[in-house]
Every structure is written in structure tokens, then in C-alpha cells.
Copies of this chain bind each other. A is one copy, B any other.
Amino acid sequence: MVAIKFALLGCGRIGVLHARNLAKTDGARLETVFDLNTTAAEAVARAHGCGVSASAEDAIGRADAVLIATSTATHADLIELAAKAGKAILCEKPIDLGVERVRACRKAIEGCNVPIQIGFNRRFDPGHRAARDACAAGKIGKLEQVIITSRDPGLPPRGYTAVSGGIFRDMTIHDFDVARFMLNDEPTEVFATGSALVDPTIGSEFGDFDSVMIVMRTADGKLCHINNSRRAAFGYDQRIELFGSEGMVISDNKKAYELKHYGSTTTEAAEPYLNFFIERYAEAYEAEIAAFIAAVRDATPTQATFDDGYRALMLAEAAVESARTGKKVEVRNIA
């Protein structure tokens, strides 16, 4: 079997990770990389023995598949570019921070018929996936409630907050996608509220939150709760609970190893949780690329589509509006 040639656009932290994963994935070959920061691009090229492209266009031209790991604002443009060039696309989330741009992008690539996968890595985490599989296999009966706890270990840099698009579009977007993935259904109503507790200036300066709680409901009454915090003292807190008519499954936090300490004041004390997404979702990132390669090779649908990216963003928009108005928002009414 001929390996799929990849162009990697963006050689920041997540780009470097993807490059390394491509290197150990059968069926893939990193052909070329592009980054405005040529030092970063060259470092990746050196590490993996691939070429460096002078432009995104050039990189796209040399490859079968394009992995977009640039900054968010460029995602939609690069998707359009790659799609029109007929290349398969694996693009980091989100497609864009604005619904309008996402819609325009969707229109622009209509008819291109290239495989597109959005980087919702958590869908590929073995534990989360096993939870969904257990549910699909009927092991908890009919699904009734989903509880998603998702807390980052620490605040992002201040500069990031300013351009993040707000916590719902930037951070909760992952959880909105996980919610849809776990519910296997569309939330139709969204309520959201939040506070700036970790750093009050996130509220006073950016009008944003760092701590939020969301409740969603599907048309048939399934309920979903998401809670987020930008800071968890004990590591990256990533738990998913699926509650059904005949039982429950929980995909729990992961530790680097299973050491427990017993002393005069505490027992069964474990290490802090894996910190951060690079470590916690290491297997998910590997599986994500493998799944993309399989979809391209076998011409099957990707497991995190453009439409999934759009719908997660719609839920984020609904959350923004709900937090502003204090009312639950019907998702279909989102402009």
C-alpha cells in the first residue's frame, strides 16, 4: 500500500505533535511542512526528514492530504484552499470562531468532495470511545443523562484570552462536540451561565468567564450538563459520565502510573492527573490520525465531519446568547 503524503501546515506545539504521530503511523508519510516561522518549520523537517515549503499553496500542492494546525483565524481559508486543490483535510478545531465564516466556508467547498476531518481529538480517546461503545451496545440501557467535567490545569496566557473568542467557543467547543458524540443526538435547548472566579479581570476586561456551567436538552428529553474551569489545581480534569435506564459508565481521569501512597494522614493517595492535553490525549491524537488515514484510504466518512465542527460552534453560539440573556436558547433559532 502506498503511503498517503501529508503536508503539515503549522509547526507549533500541536503541529509538532502531529508530525511525530505521522512518523509512527503506518500508511502515512510527512512530505512537507509550512510555517510562517521558518525556524519552526525547519526543525520539524529536520526531525522527520521531510521538505519545507515556502507557502501553504506549495505545501498543499505536494501532498495527498493536508493537516491544518495553524492559528484559528487561518483555518477556513486553508480548508478552502486545500479542498479546491482536491486534497483530503484534517483541520484542528475550531473551523472558525464565527458562524458566518463557517457557513461561507461550507458553501465555498460545496462539491469539492474531499474527505474533511475536524480535530476533535477527544472522540478518539480510548476511554471516552469505550464509554460511547458501551452505551451503543446497550450496557446502560437507554441513555438519559450525560455529565461532562472538563477543567484545564491552568489559565492560558493573557494574550490568548483576548483572542480566544470566549470560553464557550474556545474551550467548551470540545465539550459541545463530546456532548453530541455521547448523546448521539442533537441538543435543541442550551442554558449557560458563568463567572470569572479564577481571574476576575477575565470578566472585567474581556467580558468573558473562566468558570461555566451548561445544561442542554435534546428533543426527546435527554439531559446533558457540562462544567468547565480554566484552572484545576490537581491537573487536567476530564471526566465523562453516561447515565442510562440500566446503569452508568464513567470515563475517568488518567494518571501517569498507578502509584498509591498510604500514610498517617491520608490513604490511597495517587499522583496528580496527566497535564495537559498533549499527555492526557496522547493516544487520542494517534488514533485521530489513524482514523483519518483509514477514512481517506477506504473512502469512508470521517468520524468528525465539517458538519460536526459547525454544530459544535452552533452550540457555543447558543451558550453565548444564553449566558447573555439568562434564558435557555433554542439551537435552531441561532442566527
Contact = CB atoms under 8 A, between A and B. Distances in A.
A168 interface: no
A259 interface: yes
Closest 8 CB pairs of A and B: A195-B221, A127-B257, A269-B269, A247-B263, A252-B258, A234-B262, A266-B269, A248-B262
28 contacts: A24-B24, A130-B257, A140-B233, A140-B261, A144-B198, A144-B211, A145-B229, A147-B227, A189-B193, A191-B215, A193-B217, A195-B217, A211-B221, A213-B225, A225-B227, A232-B248, A233-B244, A233-B263, A237-B248, A247-B262, A249-B260, A250-B262, A251-B259, A252-B260, A264-B272, A266-B272, A267-B272, A268-B269
A245 interface: yes
A273 to B, nearest CB: 6
B233 A141 contact: yes
Contacts of A213: 145, 215, 223-225
A227 B217 CA distance: 13
A301 interface: no
A295 interface: no
A33 to B, nearest CB: 19
A121 B130 CA distance: 30
Contacts of A140: 233, 261, 263
A131 interface: yes
Contacts of A245: 197-198, 231, 233
A84 interface: no
B247 A261 contact: yes
A214 B221 CA distance: 14
Contacts of A195: 144, 217, 221-223
Nearest to A129: B257
A261 B191 contact: no
Contacts of A57: none
A98 B211 CA distance: 34
A145 B215 contact: no
A272 to B, nearest CB: 6
Nearest to A266: B269
Interface string A143-163: 011010101000000000000
Interface in A142-197: 142, 144-145, 147, 149, 151, 189, 191, 193-197
B193 A223 contact: yes
Given A197-B144, A263-B139, A272-B266, A127 B250 contact: no
Given A270-B266, A272-B266, A234 B222 contact: no
A207 to B, nearest CB: 14
B145 A261 contact: no
Contact of A262 (B145, B231, B249): B249
A157 B308 CA distance: 42
A255 interface: yes
B271 A233 contact: no
A195 to B, nearest CB: 3
